[in-house]
């Protein structure tokens, strides 16, 4: 069996154009919702998105964020790192009840442990807003976020994008690469961009770079192609809405 890795750049180019054309008409569907009383340029918003991205696995993401906003409105104190540390580190059951009964995460025990761990980090780093505000490069911000326990490549990548879009940091997001997770790999495979589903780290990096280059040819920013791929996986693949997907004509999956 030939397991050699191959990227079909022409197909990445075609897909990038299809995504650009589709989302130029329906941009809002790629946005991540948040409580209406939060200012995007504020410390409160920054803390909120640290929590929200922590458990966003791209499955039923719209419902997840709706639940999260409702939880924030009813139990705002669980989004307060100091309050969580002072009141829940030795009382996990109460925090778990709030999270499970309101946010409905896929993995309740993991969610609670991650929530506590993040709260401890945020409480110990109360200058985080000013640190992030002073950051001038994507790599510096990426290294900071990915050093925090609990964020994977995609959840960390989503947090990076939201911070960039908030305007809290002033840096150029026009990257040579984007975070690639298993959903992106599956989309790439189903659309013929790559010829296999299991990729090593070097191959994943090559795929991310190829998506960015293909997007650039179609005047799509790296932040946007990352957003579009995330949204296709969440909005269409997860819900098996293949007929409505902007990549329906190029995808191998027909449901």
Q: Please identify which residue in the block is written with the tokens 């690639």.
A: 180
Give the mean model confidence (pLDDT) for residues 18-34: 77
Give pLDDT, residue 91.
Answer: 92
Helix, strand or coil for residue 181?
coil
Give 210-221 pLDDT, tens digit per residue. Answer: 999 999 999 998
Q: Which residues of 65-100 are buried (b: 16+ CB within 10 A; e: fewer)?
A: bebbbebbeeeeebbbbeebbeebeeeeeebbebbe
Give the mean model confidence (pLDDT) for residues 119-148: 92
Give pLDDT, residue 158.
Answer: 84
The tokens for 111 are: 């969610």
Q: Select the more confidently predicted residue: 252 or 79.
A: 79
Give pLDDT, residue 254.
Answer: 61
Percent of the chain whose predicted confidence (pLDDT) is above 70: 93
Give pLDDT, residue 200.
Answer: 93
| Contact by Cβ (8 Å): 193, 8 | yes
| Contact by Cβ (8 Å): 54, 118 | yes
Give pLDDT, residue 1.
Answer: 44
Report in angstroms the alpha-carbon separations of 138 from 71, 82, 142, 155, 164: 31, 28, 6, 16, 9
Give pLDDT, residue 229.
Answer: 92
Where are any strands of DSSP class E within the chain?
none
Give the predicted TM-score (pTM) of the model. 0.77
| Contact by Cβ (8 Å): 226, 173 | no
Rounded Cα distance, 58 and 239, in Å? 11
115-118, long-range: CB within 8 Å, 24+ apart, which pairs?
A: 115/51, 115/54, 115/78, 115/84, 116/84, 116/88, 116/89, 116/92, 117/149, 117/150, 118/50, 118/51, 118/54, 118/81, 118/148, 118/149, 118/150
Mean pLDDT in the chain?
Answer: 89
Q: Which helix (H) or strand (E) holds 123?
A: helix 108-124
Beta bridge partners of 7: 194
Give the mean model confidence (pLDDT) for residues 238-252: 91
Q: Select the more confidently predicted residue: 72 or 2.
A: 72
Report in angstroms the alpha-carbon separations of 88 from 51, 79, 119, 120, 221: 16, 12, 10, 11, 41
Give pLDDT, residue 195.
Answer: 95
Q: Does the pLDDT of residue 29 top 60, yes or no?
A: no
Q: Does the pLDDT of residue 2 top 80, yes or no?
A: no
What would you measure as the largest C-alpha separation in the chain, in angstroms? 57
Give the mean model confidence (pLDDT) for residues 119-144: 92
Give the mean model confidence (pLDDT) for residues 114-132: 96
The tokens for 90 are: 């030795």
In which band, very low, low, confident or very high, does the pLDDT at 28 lie, cut at 50, 70 and 90?
A: very low
Give 152-189 pLDDT, tens digit per residue. Answer: 877 888 898 889 889 898 776 667 788 888 889 999 99
The tokens for 100 are: 């499970």
Give 38-71 pLDDT, tens digit per residue. Answer: 999 999 999 999 999 998 865 567 788 999 999 9
């Amino acid at each position: 069996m030939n397991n050699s890795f191959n990227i079909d750049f022409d197909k990445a180019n075609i897909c990038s154009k299809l995504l650009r054309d589709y989302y130029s008409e329906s941009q809002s569907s790629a946005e991540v919702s948040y409580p209406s009383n939060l200012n995007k340029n504020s410390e409160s918003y920054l803390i909120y998105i640290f929590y929200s991205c922590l458990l966003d696995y791209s499955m039923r993401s719209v419902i997840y964020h709706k639940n999260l906003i409702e939880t924030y409105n009813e139990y705002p104190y669980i989004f307060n790192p100091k309050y969580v540390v002072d009141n829940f580190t030795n009382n996990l059951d109460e925090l778990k009840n709030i999270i499970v009964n309101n946010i409905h995460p896929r993995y309740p025990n993991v969610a609670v442990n991650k929530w506590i761990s993040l709260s401890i980090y945020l409480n110990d780093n109360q200058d985080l807003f000013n640190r992030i505000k002073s950051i001038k490069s994507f790599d510096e911000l990426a290294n900071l976020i990915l050093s925090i326990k609990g964020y994977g490549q995609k959840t960390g990548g989503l947090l990076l994008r939201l911070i960039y879009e908030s305007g809290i940091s002033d840096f150029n997001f026009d990257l040579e690469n984007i975070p690639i997770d298993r959903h992106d790999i599956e989309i790439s495979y189903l659309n013929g961009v790559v010829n296999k589903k299991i990729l090593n780290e070097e191959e994943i990096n090559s795929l991310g770079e190829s998506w960015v280059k293909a997007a650039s040819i179609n005047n799509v920013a790296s932040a946007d192609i990352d957003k579009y791929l995330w949204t296709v996986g969440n909005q269409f693949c997860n819900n098996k809405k293949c007929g409505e997907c902007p990549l329906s004509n190029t995808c191998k999956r027909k449901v």
